[in-house]
Structures are given as C-alpha cells and as structure tokens.
Amino acid sequence: MDPNELADRALDEIAAAADEATLEAVRARYLGRKDGELTRALRGLKDLSPERRAAEGAAANEAKARVDGAISERRAALRAASLERDLGGSREDLSLPPRTVRLGRLHPISRTIREITGIFATMGFESVEGPEVEWDYYNFEALNIPPDHPARDKFSTLWIENTAEVALARTADGGSGGSAPAPAASRPMLLRTHTSPMQIRVMEQRRPPVRVLVPGRCYRFEATDATHETVFFQTEGLAIDEQLSMADLKGVLYSAARQLFGGARKVRFRPDYFPFTEPSAEMAFDCIVCDGSGTTDEGNCRTCGATGWIEWLGCGMVHPKALERVGYDSTRYQGFAFGGGVERIAMLLTGTPDIRLFHENDLRYLESV
C-alpha cells in the first residue's frame, strides 16, 4: 500500500485513541520494528530501481515522520488529560500549606556531653562508661575513703539493699526467721555518688599508660537549688603515666576550658581537698548571671550563692594508695584525675540560670537553648 495512504489511516486511528494503551497498539501496528506496515513499506524499497527508490523513499520517510509526530502529540495530550483528571478528583487539597513536621533535637545535657567528650578525645582520652548501681568498695574504699572516714559525710548517699546478701544471711541463720544482718555489713550497694569509681575499675583492667573520660549519671540524696540536683551528670577524667604532674593536669583543663568558652569566661584554679587525690584543686568559672560580682538587682545572686563563681570540677594527683591498691608501682607511675558536673557547663554554654530547668522537661525552654 502507498505510504501516504498508510499514514493517513494511521493518523485517523491515532486521533481516535482514547488512552495510551490504544495509542501504543496503533504505534506497533504501523511502526513496529518487525511487522509495522510502514516499516515493511520502507523495508521493501531495497527491491526498487535506484530511480524509484529515491522518489518513493522520500515519500515513505515523510509518511513515517508524520505518524511519529502525531503519536508524540497524542501521547502528550493523553497524559495531560489524565493528570488533569487525577488532580481534579484528588481527595487532598494541594493548595493547603503542608503540615509542620517537628524535628527532634538533642537535650542540652546530651549535647554538652558530646562536646566535652569530643574535646578530650582530641587530647587522647577514650570515652568509657560504668555501672550506676555501684559497690561501696569502688565508690568509697578503693578511692581512699574507708568506712569511718569523715569525708563520707560530704556524700548524701542513696543505699540499696542487696537482696542476694540478705538471702545468704538468712540461709546461714538456718531460716529461723530472725532478722538478718544488714547487707551493708558485707558488700553494701549504692547509687553511685560520682563517676570516680570507674578510676579503679579501669585501672584494674588496664596497665599504664591510661587515659580515659567517663561520662555518666550520678545520684545524691540532697536538697536541690540553682546549681544542685539529686540526679545529675558528671564527666570523670583519669590519666596514668610516667612523670605526670599538676602542670599536666592544669594544662589539660585550661585547654578544655578554652575550647569550651574561648575567652568568654574567667577561670579560677585553686587548692582544695578531695580524699582520693593529693594534692587537690578545684576549677570554677565566673557566674553567668551576676558576671562574677556575686550580686544582682534583686540582691545576692542565687545561682552562684553570692560567691561570683560556679564550680566545674574537683581534681588532683591520684593518691599513691589508690595506685597501689590496683597493683601499680606508685614510685614509677603518677596520675591525675578530675570530675565535674555536666549541667554546670551546660548552664554556662546556654545561659541557663537554674540547673533544674534542664530536668523539668518543659519543651518551651529546652527548645530555646
């Protein structure tokens, strides 16, 4: 059949195609690679003489181009009509603004822990964690605070009844039903009052050199105020090696302070007393509320207790008895340790005047800092 006649018939069928499936069938019928009618007409040109091949070839190619163009136009029209139908019958009003997706964020305390551990990681301190329910031995005795030491009065401890010890004592008593001896008489347990127990746990498992940072939650049964909570977070640092000194300790802490605050905060480093370090010191920053003056327009500053300073940590050289208890040679190795409150740093970084704001779970405040 003449290519132009085939093209005219194909154009009528293309115009009548009501959907893309019908249009694809028309395309295959006329332009299919094997059995398309126009394709066969083009393939038959090779049998014609050169003169006829040139003339009829041009007409056949023109017919194929007409069909190709018509198919493309019809396909675009069908897709536009389908899209218009879908949008017109949609159950969603796409003109409305989208629902707001609330994005989560780190709690200021978690954010501060990450920042502190990241800073000390650059100085070679590995981050480790330890149990929050601890033995008296690790929390006090191994840190050079024996049961009768007056330093224990500084820690308002939350004790835990060791049910395994109670059962053992009752078994030893013959099950007579009498009152069993207090479990604290053998191996008392408690909610750790500081992260310092990990000093001993780490030294028991490792040989020098040691360099670790211990973030974690601590517990004390005490009144709360602007800078104290019953449940709080600490970061404990420990370094053991040969020829370490207070100069190394001070350098590490001042470097951390500069990375945390730049030059925005004044730093105080002065002697203090801690039973598990000798000599000992404390590090503090000037108060963010009263700018170190100790007073505000309302009177004495409640955040710093009118001192002008917010204590960050206690520190010092590890006591030789603590080293000898874990089998270290105290004549060869020295170490320094430090432990400070995470919330105190979070207060300074975010301008929070009261530590309790971090634990009240008021999203209005937490989202603002």
pLDDT classification of 89: cutoffs 50, 70, 90: low
pLDDT at 247: 93
pTM for this structure? 0.64
Asked if the model's pLDDT at residue 219 lies above 50, the reply is: yes
Note the pLDDT of residue 174: 52
Helix (H) or strand (E) holding 148: none
- Report the chain's C-alpha Rg in angstroms: 40
Of 31-35, 79-83, 148-152, 355-359, least confident by mean pLDDT is: 31-35
How many angstroms separate the CA atoms of 244 and 94, rounded? 68
CA 1 to chain CA centroid, nearest Å: 74
How far, rounded to the nearest angstrom, does the alpha carbon of residue 9 sit from its chain's CA centroid?
A: 68
Of 6-15, 55-64, 75-84, 350-359, give the lowest mean pLDDT range. 55-64
Cα torsion angle, 218, 313, 310, 286, sign: negative
β-pairing, 210-219 vs 126-127, is parallel
The predicted-structure confidence for 134-151, as pLDDT tens digits, reads as follows: 998 888 888 888 888 787
Mean of pLDDT values over 340-346 = 89
Q: What is the pLDDT of residue 168?
A: 56
Q: Say if CB 336 and CB 315 are below 8 A apart.
A: yes
The predicted model gives 6-24 an average pLDDT of: 83
Instruction: Identify the burial level of 56 via C-beta atoms within 10 angstroms of its C-beta, where 0-12 means exposed, 13-18 middle and 19 or more buried.
Output: middle
pLDDT at 88: 63
From the DSSP assignment, how many helices (H) and strands (E) are in the chain? 12, 12
What local confidence, expressed as pLDDT, does residue 312 receive?
87
Of 60-74, 158-172, 274-288, 337-351, the range with the lowest mean pLDDT is: 158-172
**What pLDDT is attached to residue 185?**
43
Q: Edge-to-edge, what's the strand order for the sheet holding 158-160?
A: 133-135, 189-191, 158-160
Please check whether residue 67 is in contact with residue 14, taking contact to mean a CB–CB distance below 8 angstroms.
yes
Reported as a single tens digit per residue, the pLDDT across 295-312 is: 888 888 888 888 888 888
pLDDT > 90? residue 367: no
Q: How large is the average pLDDT for residues 68-78?
A: 86
First to last CA, the chain: 81
Q: What average pLDDT is seen over the chain?
A: 83
Residue among 230, 340, 213 at smallest CA distance from 285? 340
pLDDT in tens, 155-200: 788 888 866 665 555 555 554 444 333 434 456 888 999 998 998 9
Element (H, E) at 271: strand 267-272
Find the helix or strand (DSSP H, E) in which 126 lies: strand 126-127
Residue 278 has pLDDT above 80, yes or no: yes
Q: pLDDT value at position 292?
A: 82
Of 64-73, 96-105, 165-174, 242-251, the range with the highest mean pLDDT is 242-251
Task: Please report which confidence band the pLDDT of residue 119 belongs to, taking 50, 70 and 90 as the band edges.
Answer: very high
Q: Does 252 or 148 have the greater pLDDT score?
A: 252
CA distance 46 to 356: 92
More confident site: 315 or 46: 315
Token pair 């954010």 in the structure block, residue: 111
